[in-house]
Structure 1
């Protein structure tokens, strides 16, 4: 007698379930999903969408704390186009962005590659992130005291070495580079961590093939690492450039926009018009202009740097 063929357990289970109606997936889950989404949606509407709509409305008004908004059309935007302080603040902000992003990206990329290629120590990787964990105001005050012209340890060392003291925050030429340096020190660890996460997605087989072909570390970096890291670098640039245009706390704590208008970045100017001059309509128009600039810059970065393209695909 011939024994019946043995059917594997998964196949038997599939045979038993054959012909039975499949349960509907997702039926009745919409209410539960909306319940979980509701807190985040409420926060988005309350703290982002409504203030944005309100701000756009106020940008077409003349409004102070002592009266009601009065519609004036595009007068605020016409005044912005003729405002010398606005154009100066944009020039100062752009100079800060160039310095901050240039140094921060290069240093963070170098740190990320070193972490990826040379060390697996969690302590070393964590220590790079420590400056980012310090509150922005605390970090600004720390460097403000260290770079103080009279009692700062940095100026004491410069005088001892024969270079001479430098008014880092009190000199028009040094103010923005110094503020950029402080924020590079604070944020480069976080930027390096983002780039390091991107490096983790590159297969090791690519580097092994390059080593077999006799590629040096320098050629591997330029011809393999950078091209494969492009989508992550574009994302990092969008995040850091957007954040750099909105710098405020470091300037407010150290120079307050001075000396003169040397460090009066656009965010400081917006706050001054709103809370010192009580011109909330004009400040809202400045904020709207900044929003449009950042949207265009982010779109251009993603479009022309190929943020949606990847050589790993």
Structure 2
């Protein structure tokens, strides 16, 4: 068979498989109605992302290389802001305080949330009880901070009244350098643990029951089942939870602003509070932008390391 005859045969075969009344069209001539509809629905979110995230981010990176006060125009100074950061003792103190908060918040929140998720999965079957665990997360963080600030007040707080009634000395929860960060971490753990538990509970629901049935038939204890089956299969969800909580912990601000304002001294001056004070307290927006860029790079690196080494995109169920 010649080349011309073969090409005719291929075209004839393709024509037999074409629906009646339709002919194949090049990609650029096909109907893109679905694409237009998709773009129509994506447009509001895309406009919001560009207007409130992308453009401010680009402008913030630009301002980090300038000396800028809100009363004047930006003046390009190159990398002087970044050079100054490495010699800024308050910056390193803020990073140390932030890391202390992150460590406490992540450790307690993850462990408590995991315990609550297991209780919801095996014991608390009531939808009301499961919903009640989420209630603190539905309250605005400022309201939660004010509530605990009043309850833990050194003079009139109900917690210190109970401590005094027990014959123990009162504790300056927010007024002590020793207790400020642990107290702030405790307040935020109380607020977010229900939401974190809900995420872990969703991961537990995705584990097939037959895996536990096989383990039971093999005589595995509850402890062995938890460490050999539940935790490995729950790893992708736990990595997601860790990434979300670590990023959120580094950005703590409102609880500190409402309760301690960064004090006493610099005991609770987290990095977000330091950025706020530089920008709106000292009107040094260029330096504050540089601090923000450093924080963004730290969070990006932390998220990448967590996803890479904890293998959050892989599942043992595959």
* TM-score bracket for this pair, using the shorter chain length: over 0.9
Q: Does 1:240 align with 2:250?
A: no
What residue number does 1:224 align with? 229
Pairing of 1:1-313 with structure 2 (within 5 A)? 20-21=19-20, 27-313=32-318
CA-CA distance at 1:29 after TM superposition: 2.1
Aligned equivalents of 1:201 and 1:263: distance in 2? Answer: 40
In 2, Cα distance between equivalents of 1:183 and 1:26? 52
After superposition, what is the alpha-carbon deviation per residue over 1:7-41, rounded to whole angstroms, capped at 9, x for unaligned? xxxxxxxxxx9763497896422222211111111
How far, CA to CA, are the matches of 1:306 and 1:28 in structure 2? 39
Displacement of 1:194 in angstroms is 0.4
Moved more, 76-85 or 118-127: 118-127
Take 2:249 and 2:233, find their aligned partners in 1: how far apart are those partners?
25
- Counterpart-to-counterpart distance in 2, 1:175 and 1:22: 76
Distance 1:294 1:40 in 2: 23
Q: Deviations over 1:206-256 (max 9, x none)?
A: 011111111111111111000000010000000000000000000000000
Distance of aligned partners of 1:26 and 1:167 in 2 relative to their CA distance in 1, 3 Å threshold: farther
TM-score computed with the length of structure 1 as normaliser: 0.92
Aligned equivalents of 1:259, 1:280: Cα separation in 2? 25
Deviations 1:239-289 (A, max 9, x none): 000000000000000000000000000000000000010000000000000
CA distance in 2 between counterparts of 1:296 and 1:207 reads 37
Alignment size in residue pairs: 297
Q: Equivalents in 2 of 1:51, 1:22: separation in Å?
A: 52
**Secondary structure, in 3 states, of the residue corresponding to 2:163?**
helix
Distance 1:286 1:114 in 2: 42
Aligned partner of residue 206 in structure 2, secondary structure: coil
Structure 1 pair 21/88, CA: closer, same or farther in 2 (3 Å)?
A: farther
State the alpha-carbon separation in 1 of the partners of residues 250 and 137 from structure 2: 18
Residues 31 and 177 (structure 1), Cα distance of their counterparts in 2 relative to 1, 3 Å cut: same
The structure-2 alpha-carbon separation of the partners of 1:254 and 1:19, relative to structure 1 and needing over 3 Å to count, comes to closer
Structure 1 stretches of at least 4 aligned residues deviating more than 6 Å after TM superposition: 22-26
Residue aligned with 2:134, SS? helix
Q: Distance in 1 between matches of 2:164 and 2:20?
A: 85
The whole-number CA distance in structure 2 between the counterparts of 1:65 and 1:20 is 66
